[in-house]
């Protein structure tokens, strides 16, 4: 069996041939309490009126509506 590095190289090449590109994301770890506390603090600072306005705008321009 091929080594892991060779298998990954082959996988990337197959994806590239299929017109796909690998993208890596680095995100805060939501399992950590410090991250959850930071998110909670940011949410607490949100202005409810502004958030409602943003949601109404998103719904108004959304492609997902009740029409078939």
CA dist 14 to 4, 10, 11, 20, 59, Å? Answer: 15, 6, 5, 9, 39
pLDDT one digit per residue (tens) for the chain, 68 residues = 579 999 999 999 999 999 999 899 999 999 999 999 999 999 999 999 999 999 999 988 887 656 55
CA dist., res. 56 & res. 48, Å (int): 12
Residue 28: closest CA among 10, 40, 13, 15: 40
The confidence score (pLDDT) of residue 68 equals 57
Model confidence, pTM: 0.51
- Alpha-helical runs (H) found in the chain: 4-17, 33-44, 48-61
CA dist., res. 54 & res. 62, Å (int): 12
């Amino acid at each position: 069996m091929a080594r892991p590095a060779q298998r990954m190289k082959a996988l990337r090449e197959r994806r590239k041939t299929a017109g796909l590109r690998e993208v890596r994301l680095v995100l805060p770890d939501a399992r950590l309490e410090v991250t959850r506390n930071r998110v909670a603090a940011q949410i607490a600072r949100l202005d409810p009126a502004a958030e409602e306005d943003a949601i109404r705008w998103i719904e108004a321009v959304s492609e997902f509506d009740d029409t078939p």
